[in-house]
């Protein structure tokens, strides 16, 4: 198990920080706008040391706490089913243009993550 900590950063720093377009399968869990628990599979579209972006069907509010379970690339998994588990807070929601479309969510990570074998 690996843990990481980093200093808290401002939203402006998060938006300026360099990251990667990394299409990894991800499960997002949290509380939706209606107050119901949800779990939704999506593809991570961007990740940096302090945050990520992805698309969701489930409506969530700015400030919501979410938990991501990100499938690691095969070369990093060493023949194990490893996931990076990280929590964060929604800092930006780009609402869907059409009712049937997804919203783009930007998440700022909390100060630590865990890499663990999926069970």
Neighbours of 115 (CB within 10 A): 17
- CATH code of 73's domain: 2.40.10.220
**pTM, full prediction:** 0.77
pLDDT in tens, 21-74: 878 899 999 999 999 999 999 999 888 888 999 999 999 999 999 999 998 887
User: How would DSSP label each residue in 21-80?
Assistant: ----EEEEEEE-TTS-EEEEEEEEEEEETTEEEEEESS---TT-EEEEEEEPPHHHHTTS
Domain span at residue 79?
Answer: 2-117
Specify whether the CB–CB gap between 53 and 46 falls below 8 A: yes
pLDDT of residue 69: 94
Total domains, the chain: 1
């Amino acid at each position: 198990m690996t843990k990481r900590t980093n200093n808290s950063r401002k939203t402006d720093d998060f938006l300026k920080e360099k990251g990667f377009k990394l299409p990894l399968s991800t499960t997002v869990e949290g509380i939706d706008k209606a107050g119901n628990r949800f779990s939704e599979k999506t593809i991570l579209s961007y990740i940096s040391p302090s945050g990520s972006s992805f698309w969701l069907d489930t409506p969530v509010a700015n400030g919501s706490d979410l938990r991501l379970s990100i499938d690691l690339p095969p070369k990093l998994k060493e023949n194990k089913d490893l996931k990076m588990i990280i929590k964060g807070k929604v800092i930006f929601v780009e609402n869907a243009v059409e009712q049937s479309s997804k919203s783009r969510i930007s998440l700022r990570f909390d100060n630590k993550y865990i890499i663990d074998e999926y069970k």
